[in-house]
Amino acid sequence: MSQWASHCPICGWRVDSEAGSVPWINQFHGLYSSPEKGIVLTGVGLYSPGLFIAPPDPSARWGDPGHGNSRQGYFDAMTEVDGKRAFVFHDACWSLVEQAYHPAAVPRERLFEVLNSLPAFARDSINWEHDYGGLGLFADEKDYFPWEYPYFADRGIEMGGTTTYTASTPLPSPPSRNLLLSTAGSSSGQDPFNLLPEELCCTIAAYLPTPDVLNARCASRSFWGVFDSQQFWASRFKGKISARSWLYEAAQDLESTGGIGRRDWRWLYHRTIDARLGQAARNRKRVWGLIRHVLPSELPFPWQSPSLPEEESPRPLLAISTVRLGRSVYIAGLSLTTTSGEVLRLGYRSASSESSLQLQGAALTGFNLAVNLGGIHDTQCVSGSGTIRQLSPWLGCPDDALRTERLSVMTIGRTMGLRMLSVAAVRQRGLQMPAGHSGKDNHSLRHSAIWYPDVPPPTLNLNQDFLVAPEAHTSGFKPLFWSWFGGPGGIYLASLVKVRITGEIGRIDFFFDTPEVPAGCQSFGRIEPWEDKDNNSDDDLKVVEFPIDGPGGEVIDSVEIRQEVRREDLVEWWNSEGYLTWLEIHTNRGRTLKVGSKSKARNGSVVKKRIAATPGTAITGFYGSHAW
């Protein structure tokens, strides 16, 4: 039995039950996978607390005769029960999805594949990397790294604002019909400008966004008459991505009349601006905009071999397709062409967002990647070997992503739904490694870990043995972040005047007496104290400041840490190296900053580490990871 009310993956609002009359939020369709039947769409069910039960016939409803709460129609949302894994949609939202795909059918298998590939904010809320049209709240980006899930939560109705309309049904058929009825009359207008035929001006304007057309009127007399053209204003309602496509009844009216009819389309356009919409119509507009993420034009599909041979021409060595998911752009697929003409295709293809490059000279030996928890953003080809190592331009969109040099020659990839999640790498025996990648060094943190904001340069000594369990970061997705507060060659050490540690060693800030120090050198970690002081311990809210006389030559010359490893953490790969509980920072003047707790772990062990700079050197940076 489900213990949670799930969220609709289209609108983001709960599929839940309320006392009294039957509201729209507890009537749902289920889309589930079954070992016997494949991807199945249910009829309309009625949610009861903890129960998702719907008739198996897609055309049936919960109140139809003969439909009961049988075990056959039971499933759970976003988890697997009796071999079924399901997603639940509001009946109203599913109706809008069908309208968006009309006249084609909704591709259920593809939609399920995409939803099943997306991560979740929590157990019951799909992460499209958008805020569901204002329904959710994202935390300030300075409080989390790009690979960490941002805070997301429903805005409570008591907060007012968006939820006063997001709780309204997005299927307001009577209000929409009333809007159309109120524009039955037609307004006439003549174009006094004949520099271009009116038909040509209207045809051009029909392909432009409304603001661009209005700007064109200011720049050219030829477009003045467009403002009075009913044909132009009617075009604002036609097409799946038009400005008023959410009022699909208007488009249906255009199709049924075979023309613009006698409706005043300009009046209807201005009548449907946000300020004049009711709550239900505003919610429909919001949900319709979210549905665009699952339209065929937005979702890449698997590579297909061309039916006809391609013309002989120089082929790009590497081509990629990208897809936008909310605020981020991911690589959906790639094709790799060998010198013999053989083509390897991985992932999915999106013809509208392809880019390619062709390497010159040395053979391809590996890839550098820009990645995040959601997938791969960017790729860079590495060619050459020995002392000659060449890097291609980046292909994709880095989006403030992590970087890694983990890959050698790529052979296979892993995809999920609509983007590439990983690529596997092998190296031919006897193949010489690129410069800077010795056999031993290839397993070092520098080349095997995933780094943010970039891979540390070879001039930095990482002191890898000081990190607790460094091998935990050489495979899988356990990123390391670093801060170079001293700068290249320690150029910023003479400007360092203060160190501040926030919370339980969640963040370290460095203060300088010059504004020339880059922002990336001024902090280490992004965990801020919780604002809820009533539920915080004293350690959560503690802020410790430690002055340093950098201009007078004082530098950090040694660091000591204590890391607590609890027994229960050993079975969880993301926390297997434990937590930092104690930190000591020592300077060359014998001064020490101590912060944290030395209490002994009752159900685990404590690991102690100390590192000191060699004579004539200083510590210029820190690197580490956040516990998940």
Average pLDDT over residues 426-449: 55
Q: Is the pLDDT of residue 448 over 60?
A: yes
Average pLDDT over residues 253-274: 81
Phi, psi of 346, rounded to the nearest 5 degrees: -130, 145
Angle between helices 279-291 and 91-101 (to 10 degrees): 60
Q: Residues 79-133: pLDDT tens digits?
A: 666 666 789 999 999 999 999 888 889 999 989 988 888 877 655 678 888 888 8
Element holding 109 (H helix, E strand): helix 108-117
Higher-pLDDT residue of 335 and 96 is: 96
Least confident range of 154-163, 377-386, 545-554, 577-586: 154-163
Q: Which fold has domain 482-624?
A: Vitelline Membrane Outer Layer Protein I, subunit A (2.100.10)
Q: Which band of pLDDT confidence, cut at 50, 70 and 90, is reported for residue 433?
A: very low
Highest-scoring range by mean pLDDT, 276-285, 297-306, 562-571 = 276-285
Task: Enumerate residues 6+ apart whose C-beta is below 8 A from 199.
Answer: none
Residue 24, CB half-sphere, CA atoms under 13 Å: how many?
20
Q: Is the pLDDT of residue 594 over 90?
A: yes
Q: Say what the pLDDT of residue 529 is.
A: 55
Average pLDDT over residues 337-350: 79
Q: Which band of pLDDT confidence, cut at 50, 70 and 90, is reported for residue 546?
A: very high
Greatest C-alpha distance within the chain: 89
Q: Say what the pLDDT of residue 200 is.
A: 78
Highest-scoring range by mean pLDDT, 84-93, 193-202, 492-501 = 492-501
Higher-pLDDT residue of 419 and 396 is: 396
Q: Say what the pLDDT of residue 187 is.
A: 47
Q: Which two tokens stand for residue 153?
A: 């939560």
Q: Which band of pLDDT confidence, cut at 50, 70 and 90, is reported for residue 430?
A: very low
Q: Which band of pLDDT confidence, cut at 50, 70 and 90, is reported for residue 1?
A: very low
Burial of 259 (0-12, 13-18, 19+ CB in 10 A): exposed
- Answer whether the bond into residue 103 is a cis peptide, omega within 30°: yes
Beta partners for residue 29, in sequence order: 89
Query: Residue 194's CB: how many other CB atoms inside 10 A?
Result: 10
Highest-scoring range by mean pLDDT, 45-59, 443-457, 530-544, 582-596 = 582-596
Q: Say what the pLDDT of residue 554 is.
A: 96
Mean pLDDT of the chain: 77
Average pLDDT over residues 492-517: 93
Q: Which two tokens stand for residue 220?
A: 């050219």
Higher-pLDDT residue of 129 and 541 is: 129
Determine the 3-state secondary structure of 160 from DSSP.
Answer: coil
Task: Enumerate residues 6+ apart whose C-beta is below 8 A from 511.
Answer: 496, 497, 498, 499, 500, 522
Q: Is the pLDDT of residue 441 over 90?
A: no
Task: Enumerate residues 6+ apart whose C-beta is below 8 A from 520.
Answer: 453, 483, 484
Cα 567 from chain centre: 33
| Long-range contacts formed by 488-492: CB under 8 A, 24+ apart | 488/459, 490/555, 490/618, 490/620, 492/517, 492/521
Q: Which band of pLDDT confidence, cut at 50, 70 and 90, is reported for residue 27?
A: very high
Average pLDDT over residues 569-590: 80
Q: Say what the pLDDT of residue 139 is.
A: 62
Q: Whose CA is closest to 162, among 193, 131, 190?
A: 131
Give whole-number Cα distances, 219 to 199, 223, 230, 236, in Å.
19, 8, 21, 21
Given phi > 0 = left and psi -120 to 50 = alpha, else beta, which region is 307? alpha
Higher-pLDDT residue of 385 and 605 is: 605
Higher-pLDDT residue of 325 and 120 is: 325
Q: Is the pLDDT of residue 434 over 60?
A: no
Give whole-number Cα distances, 126 to 152, 416, 526, in Å.
11, 15, 25
CB 471 within 8 A of CB 423: no
Buried b (16+ CB within 10 A) or exposed e, 563-590: bbbeeebeeeeebebbbbbbbebbbeee
Phi, psi of 359, rounded to the nearest 5 degrees: -80, 145
Q: Is the pLDDT of residue 386 over 60?
A: no
Q: Is the pLDDT of residue 20 over 80?
A: no
Average pLDDT over residues 303-321: 57
Q: Is the pLDDT of residue 40 over 70?
A: yes
Domain coordinates in residue numbering, the chain: 24-166, 177-277, 304-437, 482-624
Query: Residue 148's CB: how many other CB atoms inside 10 A?
Result: 16
Q: Which band of pLDDT confidence, cut at 50, 70 and 90, is reported for residue 362?
A: low
Share of the chain above pLDDT 90, in %: 21
The total number of residues written for the chain in this structure: 628
Residue 162, CB half-sphere, CA atoms under 13 Å: how many?
19
Q: Say what the pLDDT of residue 408 is.
A: 54
Eight-state DSSP code of residue 443: G
Q: Say what the pLDDT of residue 71 is.
A: 55
Eight-state DSSP code of residue 301: E
Higher-pLDDT residue of 197 and 5 is: 197
Average pLDDT over residues 523-534: 65
User: Which pTM value belongs to this model?
Assistant: 0.73
Higher-pLDDT residue of 189 and 130 is: 130
User: Can you tell me the distance from the alpha carbon of 291 to that of 93, in angstroms, rounded to the nearest whole number?
Assistant: 9
User: Can you tell me the distance from the alpha carbon of 135 to that of 152, in angstroms, rounded to the nearest whole number?
Assistant: 9
Q: Say what the pLDDT of residue 163 is.
A: 52
Q: Is the pLDDT of residue 25 over 80?
A: yes
Q: Whose CA is closest to 265, among 223, 212, 217, 210?
A: 210
